[in-house]
Structure 1
Amino acid sequence: MGDRRNDPVVVIGLGRFGSSLALELVRQGTEVMAIDHRPKVVQSLAGQLPHVVTADSTDPHALDQLGVPDFYRAVVAIGSDIEASILTASILSELEIDDIWAKAISRQHGRILNRVGAHHVVFPEHDMGERVAHLVGGRMLDYMEVDENFALVKTRPPRDYVGVPLGESNLRRKYGVTIVAVKPPGEEFTYVGSETVLAYGDVIIVSGKTQQIERFTDLP
């Protein structure tokens, strides 16, 4: 099927998540058709999104008229109306959209979305809550889970790993994590090698299993 990354995308539901997603896609150069059932919301985004329309996404005829079946990818970003979210995902599936993404507000909602035909379900509130909890609760400067149990973290080096060449630190054997890059004060990030020596003001990027990363960032 080839690379479909730049294909136009339909974004349905223009709350905070849907509107910021649509605006970012447009900023990246992707053609977006944005749909919401609230005329006021559509009107407020008309100056920022080239193609934004008022329509009821739970009406198959309305989506058909807008040419939605011609799109390869669609995002159901409807927030609080779970029924409309599920019905919209189901209609997109019936319209045979190849790549359906849907926002869920609970695990149960997510399971139903999968069942009615969504190929990818995202949990923005849950994921953001989890990320902020990591930042609030520890020494992490930034946290990104890249898989169910694997994360990348921006943090500062623990005391025991300052002034020692990384090749001599046995870090991976002890904690199961890898330091990927380092940023000394006022400089840019660079990849580390076995000869790299960390200093107190450095910022480091560490990768590893979530539990092991948490253990590592708890070190003084």
Structure 2
Amino acid sequence: MSASAGDPVAVIGLGRFGSSLALELMRRGTEVLAIDHRPKVVQSLSGELTHVVTADATDMEALRQVGVAEFSRAVVAIGSDLEASILTTSLLVELGIADIWAKAVSRQHGRILERIGATHIVLPEHDMGERVAHLVSGRMLDYMEIDSNFALVKTRPAHEAVGVALGQSGLRRKYGITIVSVQTPGQEFTYADANTVLQYGDIIVIAGPVDRVERFTELP
């Protein structure tokens, strides 16, 4: 079954990551079927999640009974129990679910999940640690790596970027980064273009290879 953006999502495993994900998906208007094998956890979330059931996700028949086979998108949010994570993912693949997101606790775990058919691997602890490291170590206000070597960064402009139109600044040629948006104090973010002139106090969003955005944010 092919997946599309409006399709409902089955979230399996309701620890901190899974429950937060299920609640946020619901807040955004996505229909969610939340599953956990622990009755107390399911009961504690029954008032917040519309569809939350107790089931053993390592049992194919249990998955069929709660309707997981009807979904085109699923998230395996089981982390600490590697055997359950791997078995659940393999059962979802066997059910023909097209879009499977699987939480991994290590890169090795993630590689195993990929080999058995998970289409997306999530390493929440690693990704958050990497993001915080970038924020702590420099002038970045926010950091998001969108590929293995490409990032979006929120920061403040370097001195040499202030007071001159971006089209004349040569920043892209010199540093290999692109300033994609800017926020002046008291205003909302807007697109940056060749005529944009940055000022001290502005906040900018830049895009580029990780090493280049890091270099640019370290400029005085």
TM-score if structure 2 supplies the norm length? 0.96
Structure 1 residue 201 displacement after superposition? 0.7
After superposition, residues 179-194 of structure 1 pair within 5 angstroms as: 179-194=179-194
Quick one: distance in 2 between partners of 1:151 and 1:217? Answer: 12
Structure 1 residue 172 displacement after superposition? 0.7
Q: Compared with structure 1, are the counterparts of its residues 214 and 115 closer, same or farther at alpha carbon in structure 2 (3 Å cutoff)?
A: same
Q: Which residue of 2 aligns with 1:8?
A: 8
Q: Which residue of 1 aligns with 2:74?
A: 74
Quick one: distance in 2 between partners of 1:131 and 1:191? Answer: 24
Structure 1 residue 193 displacement after superposition? 2.4
After superposition, residues 156-195 of structure 1 pair within 5 angstroms as: 156-195=156-195
Q: Is the 8 A contact 2:101 2:118 kept in 1?
A: yes
Q: Which residue of 1 aligns with 2:153?
A: 153
Quick one: distance in 2 between partners of 1:171 and 1:59? Answer: 56
Structure 1 residue 121 displacement after superposition? 1.1
Gaps of 5+ in 1: none
* Post-superposition CA distance 1:147-198 (Å, at most 9, x none): 1211111100111221122222110111000111111111111222223221
Gaps of 5+ in 2: none
Structure 1 residue 68 displacement after superposition? 1.2
One-letter code of the match for 1:59?
Answer: D
Quick one: distance in 2 between partners of 1:197 and 1:132? Answer: 30
Quick one: distance in 2 between partners of 1:62 and 1:41? Answer: 18
* Post-superposition CA distance 1:39-80 (Å, at most 9, x none): 111111100101101111111111111121111111100021
- Secondary structure, counterpart of 1:22 in structure 2: helix
Structure 1 residue 145 displacement after superposition? 1.1
Q: Compared with structure 1, are the counterparts of its residues 28 and 13 closer, same or farther at alpha carbon in structure 2 (3 Å cutoff)?
A: same
Moved over 6 A (4+): none
Q: Which residue of 1 aligns with 2:96?
A: 96
Q: How many residues align?
A: 220
Quick one: distance in 1 between partners of 2:172 and 2:55? Answer: 54
One-letter code of the match for 1:150?
Answer: F
Once superposed, what is the RMSD of the aligned Cα atoms? 1.3
Structure 1 residue 3 displacement after superposition? 6.7
Q: Compared with structure 1, are the counterparts of its residues 115 and 68 closer, same or farther at alpha carbon in structure 2 (3 Å cutoff)?
A: same
Q: Compared with structure 1, are the counterparts of its residues 109 and 152 closer, same or farther at alpha carbon in structure 2 (3 Å cutoff)?
A: same
- Secondary structure, counterpart of 1:152 in structure 2: strand
Q: Which residue of 2 aligns with 1:197?
A: 197
Q: Which residue of 1 aligns with 2:120?
A: 120
Q: Is the 8 A contact 2:2 2:72 kept in 1?
A: no
Q: Tell me whether 22-31 or 101-110 shows the greater mean CA deviation.
A: 22-31
- % identical equivalent positions: 72
After superposition, residues 15-164 of structure 1 pair within 5 angstroms as: 15-164=15-164
Structure 1 residue 22 displacement after superposition? 0.7
One-letter code of the match for 2:6?
Answer: N
Quick one: distance in 2 between partners of 1:29 and 1:92? Answer: 24
Quick one: distance in 2 between partners of 1:215 and 1:152? Answer: 13
Q: Is the 8 A contact 2:9 2:74 kept in 1?
A: yes
